[in-house]
Structures are given as C-alpha cells and as structure tokens.
Amino acid sequence: MISFVAMYFFTFIRDPLARQVYSTLVGFIVTLCCFGTSSIVSLAMNLFCFLMFKIAPTKNLGTIVFVIQGIVLSTAQIHKQVFYNGKNGLEMTMTLMFSYCKNTSLACNIADGYNITQAKKTDKVANLKPREV
C-alpha cells in the first residue's frame, strides 16, 4: 500500500534529483518496514558502493565491487553464525545479498559501457568475453 501511495506522489515531482532522493527515501522506508533495522546495513552498503562507483577506476569497477561486497556479505554471515548461532533469520544476509546482486550487476554494466566507449574511439569492437567465466 505504501508503494502505491508513494508512486502517486512521484508523478508530481519534476526535478530529476528530487525524484532520485524521493525514490531512495521511499525504498528505504519500505525496506525498513519489511526487514527492520538490518536495512540500515543495506543502506550503508549501497552508499559505500555508490562511493566506489565515483572513485574506483571504471575499467575494474565490476571486480572491485564484487570483491568488496563479497567480503562484507561473508563477514555478516560469519558474524551471524558465531554470535547468533541457532537464530533462524535471513533479514541481514538477505538484504545484503539483494545489494550484492544489484550493485555488482550495475558495476559490470558500467564497466561494459566504458569498454564499448573506449573501443568505439579506436574504431574497434569491444571484446566483452574476457569477463565471462
């Protein structure tokens, strides 16, 4: 219900920055309602990845984001297994896994776009096969 009301108000916002801030805020509120305080960790991870998108070299962005988020996700899982052994809940690891998949996919798309742009400058076709396993 929250998302339907939020999308109704979204149609009245014309400024692109205000739309991004509004959609991020509403998404965080919906995540907070679903997953509780563990969504704060997910928000922190998304903000950290946004920082990586800005400062990391674009050519290696997919690998950098993949490794950093993998370390954070595995650390959270180990922490949960050590300190909360027997507690059956996925709220922390599930929200981090959502962020992991989303941000890694976005980083790979950005890196592919960079490779294609660089190849067009030299009138070549971008070779995207090396990143595939």
Q: What is the pLDDT of residues 24-49, one digit of tens each?
A: 888 888 888 888 877 888 888 888 88
Does 4 share its domain with 41?
Answer: no
Query: How many structural domains comprise the chain?
Result: 2
Does 114 share its domain with 67?
Answer: yes
Reported confidence tier of residue 54, pLDDT bands at 50, 70, 90: confident
Calculated CA dihedral for residues 50, 52, 57, 59, nearest 10 degrees = -60
**Which of these ranges, 22-31, 62-71, 104-113, 124-133, has the smallest mean pLDDT?**
124-133
Compute the average pLDDT of residues 96-107: 87
The pLDDT of residue 133 is above 60: no
**Which of these ranges, 57-61, 63-67, 85-89, 112-116, has the smallest mean pLDDT?**
85-89
- CA dist 34 and 43 (Å) reads 14
Domain span at 3: 1-35
Reported confidence tier of residue 123, pLDDT bands at 50, 70, 90: confident
- Beta-carbon count within 10 A of 42 CB: 22
Position 130 in a domain:
no
Position 60 in a domain:
yes
- CA dist 92 and 40 (Å) reads 9
The pLDDT of residue 85 is above 80: no
Does 84 share its domain with 26?
Answer: no
